[in-house]
Amino acid sequence: MLQPPDSQKSQSPSNPYTPSKTVSVPVEQATIGRSVVIKGEVSGTESLYVDGRIEGTVNFAEHRVTIGRNGSVAANISAREVVILGKVQGNIQCSDRLDIRSEGALTGDVVTQRISVEDGAILKGSVQVRAVEHNKSQAQKQA
């Protein structure tokens, strides 16, 4: 007997299971497949996922480089963020963070602001953790 007025009926969705639309920016990511071998310099302005092999240098200064489980990299890597699930031989320079997952292996020196090494991961080399640069500039402004 009690029914909501017509104005309330129009506000409820016709299908209660329809997901709400969210606006998100699509993540642009280049992928190097399992069978691909690259020798030389690899650089770009989007994130990179490596499941193949790279020999040389990798430079993605403002983006993420992910070495997949099947990935093998014999190169120096420079990126904002590096995630290692495969094998890397070379030095890594991150402006933000390095993440070595449990199945990942790195042989080389690291310079980063943040680092995460999971149990089971292999890391052979030196690690230099630097303070966040914008904190230094704020301290100089206050002085």
Q: What is the DSSP string of the chain?
A: -----HHHHHHS-S-TTPPPP---PPPPEEEE-TT-EEEEEEE-SSEEEESSEEEEEEEEEEEEEEE-TT-EEEEEEEEEEEEESSEEES-EEEEEEEEE-TT-EEES-EEESEEEE-TT-EEES-EEE---HHHHHHHHHH-
Q: Is residue 15 part of a domain?
A: no
- Mean pLDDT (the chain) is 85
Contact 125, 100 (CB under 8 A): no
Q: Is residue 132 part of a domain?
A: yes
Domain residue limits at 32: 28-142
Q: Is residue 8 part of a domain?
A: no
pLDDT (average), residues 121-138: 80
Q: Is residue 9 part of a domain?
A: no
Q: Is residue 35 part of a domain?
A: yes
How many domains, in total, are found in the chain? 1
Q: What's the whole-model pTM score?
A: 0.75
Q: Is residue 99 part of a domain?
A: yes
pLDDT above 90 coverage of the chain, percent: 71
Q: Is residue 134 part of a domain?
A: yes
**Confidence check: pLDDT of 76 > 60:** yes
**Confidence check: pLDDT of 140 > 70:** no
In angstroms, the CA 92 to CA 98 distance is: 8
Q: Is residue 109 part of a domain?
A: yes
pLDDT (average), residues 97-117: 97
